[in-house]
Amino acid sequence: MRFCFNPAVMATVGDDYSVQVSGLQFSYPGQAPFIADFNLQLKPGSRCLLVGANGSGKTTLLRILAGKHMWPACLSWRLLEQDSWLCWRNTLAGGLFSRAHDLWSAVEGADPSRREQLIGLLDIDLEWRMHKVSDGQRRRVQICMGLLQLYKVLLLDEITVDLDVVARMDLLSFFVTECEERGATVVYATHIFDGLETWATHLAHVEDGKLKGLYKMNEIPELCAVGKSKTLLQVVESWLRKEREAQLLREKDELSRPTKPLVTSPWASSRHMAYYR
């Protein structure tokens, strides 16, 4: 998957990346630019966590990478391969009255042995009716359907929220196997960090639509410090707290700036009365 908004950069980047985003820009209609000069490069086999505060742009970025958002036509861009799959937290599988079995019998070209493996992994009962199952069971069916077809890049937006801990850990192990044996790449936006220290290979920190940093997990000093290492949760919490404090300082600074002098003339318009002269 390659996105390049700057042909000069594109020419210099090698082919050995499975995700290549260079100079990405994006604005929501009628709004100021939100994603600006975003660059991300990942090699096959990478498992990259996308972390950031609420509203920092993780979902927006994943939707752009999945081709769900349009971008300004004035920018030059190239999307070379469309072999990614986005699993979206807000979509649940299928029509309300479908049986689990009917839902994925519609998925063409799925390898039967992969199907059996996923059904076992996610402990799915083919007789489940989608309107009579729990959110977590419905989520399992959705994930299963998405994973039936092989992919090179998998984009996950907080999909494990409804899963119990066994299903979550088994699914994460499955992704490791996919990355190690097939060279798949996973980009996973989440706020749940349990068990991810050793799962991820990379950590991408997003702040206000910008990539604040892309780190290899084994090179993050706080995670690796012998004897006093922090958990991923503590590391991300400290980053986000710093961001929040900096934002509060900026807001305080703006409030303390002198505003325009107050108009004291009795002939001027006021909040309660306007004069058109």
**Which of 73-82's residues contact partners 24+ apart within 8 Å by CB, and which partners?**
75/5, 75/25, 76/4, 76/5, 76/6, 76/7, 77/3, 77/4, 77/5, 78/2, 78/3, 78/4, 78/10, 79/1, 79/2, 79/3, 80/1, 80/2, 81/1, 81/2, 81/152, 82/1
The only residue of 58, 139, 168, 202 in contact with ligand ATP, by rule CB under 6 A: 58
- Which three-class secondary structure state does DSSP give residue 264? coil
- Output 57 or 146, the one with its CB closest to ligand ATP: 57
Is 27 a binding residue for ligand ATP by CB under 6 A? The answer is: no
- Output 3 or 104, the one with its CB closest to ligand ATP: 3
What whole-number distance in Å separates Cα of residue 152 and Cα of residue 210?
25
Name which of residues 96 to 155 contact ligand ATP (CB under 6 A): none
The vertex-50 CA angle with 141 and 201, nearest 5°, equals 90
Is 59 a binding residue for ligand ATP by CB under 6 A? The answer is: yes
Is 28 a binding residue for ligand ATP by CB under 6 A? The answer is: yes
- Output 126 or 161, the one with its CB closest to ligand ATP: 161
- Output 68 or 132, the one with its CB closest to ligand ATP: 68
Shortest Cβ 127–ligand ATP spacing (Å): 34
Is 72 a binding residue for ligand ATP by CB under 6 A? The answer is: no
- In the shown chain, the binding pattern of residues 38 to 57 toward ligand ATP, with x for contact by CB under 6 A and - for none, equals --------------x-xxxx
Q: What does the binding site for ligand ATP look like in residue numbers (CB under 6 A)?
A: 28, 34, 52, 54-60
